[in-house]
Amino acid sequence: MSAWATAIDELTWDHDVLFIVSAGNLPLHGSVGISRLSISDHFATGRTYPDYLLEASSRVANPAQSFQALTVGSVAASSYHNPPLTSIASGADHPSAFTCCGLGIWESIKPEIVEYGGDLIMDESNPAILNYPPDVCPELVRSTLGGGAVIASDKIGTSFAAPKVAHVAAAVEAEFPQESCLLYRALVVQSVRLPQWTAQPEVDLSNVICQMGYGIPNFDRAIGNTANRITLTTRGEQRISARKACVYQVQLPPELRSPGEIYNILVEVTLSYKAEPRRTRRQRRKYLSTWLDWECSKRGEDPDQFLARVLKESETAEETEKGEGLFEWTLGKQKNWGKVKGLSRGAGTIQKDWAIVKSYDLREAFCLAIVGHEGWNNDPTAEVPYSLVVSFEALEVNVPIYTSFVQAQIQIQQQVVKIQ
């Protein structure tokens, strides 16, 4: 971990703050040092968009690898085609041609979020001439010093994407002024979705997540509910130490799981936590004082059985995966456990996963466990704070589920247990 990124992590641990950091930009021409190739360099070696974004030389820039900051990459807002000029990105909501991508250090998902930062156009010459006319630039508020326009579209970069995420985070803070930045971070990430084009069967979702993280945030989803979507959160400061588990039971209203109805329900879970960093350590599990992950109960597993499984200190990864899961998670806690292979949700301090389930497959309740693991701090009383967010959305927008949750007075019920 770089000194700059560690300083951000230390400030996050010491204070209730949220850093939102741009992922960085690839230069158009001319390498930066020996490790950062330009877009022209990639084209010269025969690499094409978007494959060059997955090269090691395109990784997120310092200090965007910070474990506890939100890192923001860029996507194009539009496409441009006026022969011989055409935009490099494949279309709107595709990764910008210049955006630095993931994975982050220790295979964490970085960037976690993308926003509209513009794109590049190229001509048909060899080597290609790269440019950014107003058609592919985001609309920006500008300084009027020297008689300039108040609004202009003449620059591109992840630096213009990051403030848009900061705007969403500020709106969440205004909505919940008494809550911690950990909840703000969780709600921002919970609002994020990958664009529709990523659902096509030919798309490699693993590459998409490396380039775009969890996707593009949504202002309305971050701060509120709708008739067909509800978000449950922990409130106030939740804390946990290593070798303990906080188990939550989520009750579901009967209207949501009626056998006579067939709904597609999107279930999203986001864990947001922070821990004290120690830069001298060379692996994720020792960089943090305590590290957390989350588990979900399986089909037919009652709370007592789930608790017993979570408490089995000697349980191997293979044993954890036994049994039929209630949800087919997109990422999974470990590599190759989810639908997307080669990635996991558990590497970072923001851990999101999602699944789509038929309403008739839901049960009366299911459990989630936040599990604490020992990092560099071997003090058994040392605690770290976290926030947990769970959302349910009926993908058929005319299916109301919010009211049934409210009428049932649904709450997340917590139990704290110690792992022997």
- pLDDT over 50 at 323, yes or no: no
More confident residue, 235 or 318: 235
Beta strands across the sheet bearing 290-296: 290-296, 365-374, 244-251, 412-418
Element (H, E) at 271: strand 264-273
Phi, psi of 215 (to 5 degrees): 120, -150
> 110 — alpha (psi -120 to 50), left (phi > 0) or beta?
beta
Query: Among residues 38, 33, 103, which one has the least CA distance to residue 71?
Result: 103
pLDDT of 407: 66
Query: Mean per-residue pLDDT for 30-41?
Result: 84
The amino acid occupying position 356 is I
What value does the mean pLDDT take over residues 170-184? 96
Nearest to 271 by CA among 353, 209, 177, 331: 353
Average pLDDT score over residue span 393-403: 81
Kindly indicate the confidence band of residue 215, based on its pLDDT and cuts at 50, 70 and 90: very high
314 or 7, which is more confident: 7
CATH 2.60.120.380 residue ranges of the chain are 225-418
Q: What is the pLDDT of residue 11?
A: 97
Evaluate the CA torsion angle 171, 172, 178, 182 in order and state its sign.
Answer: negative
Mind listing the pLDDT tens digit for each residue in 53-97? 999 999 999 999 999 999 999 999 999 998 889 999 999 999 999
Q: Which tops the pLDDT comparison, 141 or 415?
A: 141
User: Residue 374: is it exposed, middle or buried by C-beta count within 10 angstroms (0-12/13-18/19+)?
Assistant: middle
CA 275 – CA 288 distance, rounded (Å): 6
Find, among 349, 309, 282, 283, the residue nearest to 112 by Cα. 349
The gap from C-alpha 283 to its chain's centroid, in whole angstroms, comes to 21
User: How sure is the predictor about 414, in pLDDT bands with cuts at 50, 70 and 90?
Assistant: low
Structure tokens given for 339 = 């639908």
Work out the average pLDDT over 17-34.
Answer: 90
| % pLDDT > 90, the chain | 62
β-bridge pairing 229-233 and 244-251: unpaired
Q: What pLDDT, on a 0 to 100 scale, did the predictor assign at position 132?
A: 94
Residue-wise pLDDT for 285-304, tens only, equals: 789 999 999 999 887 787 78
State pLDDT tens for residues 95-116: 999 999 989 998 999 999 999 9
Q: What is the pLDDT of residue 404?
A: 78
Task: Find the range with the poorest average confidence among 241-250, 324-333, 372-381, 398-407.
Answer: 398-407
Residue 210 confidence (pLDDT) above 50: yes
Q: Determine the average pLDDT of the residues in 203-213.
A: 96
CA distance 213 to 103: 9
The pLDDT-based confidence of 413 (bands split at 50, 70, 90) is low
Count other C-beta atoms under 10 Å from residue 88's C-beta. Answer: 24
pLDDT value, residue 321 = 47
End-to-end CA distance of the chain: 33
In terms of pLDDT, which residue wins out, 360 or 123?
A: 123
Q: Phi and psi dihedrals of 257, rounded to 5?
A: -120, 30
Statement: residue 320 has pLDDT above 50: no
Q: How far apart are CA 247 and CA 368, in angstroms?
A: 6
The domain 225-418 is placed in CATH, from the list 2.40.50.140, 1.10.760.10, 2.60.120.380, 1.20.120.50, at 2.60.120.380
163: part of which helix (H) or strand (E)? helix 158-175
Q: Is the torsion defined by CA of 254, 257, 261, 263 positive or negative?
A: positive
Instruction: Summarize pLDDT for 338-397 with one digit per residue, the tens.
Output: 889 899 998 999 999 999 998 888 877 888 999 999 999 989 889 999 999 999 998 877
Q: What is the distance between the alpha carbons of residues 193 and 410, in angstroms, rounded to a whole number? A: 25
Contact 320, 313 (CB under 8 A): no
Q: Is the distance from CB of 214 to CB of 352 less than 8 angstroms? A: yes
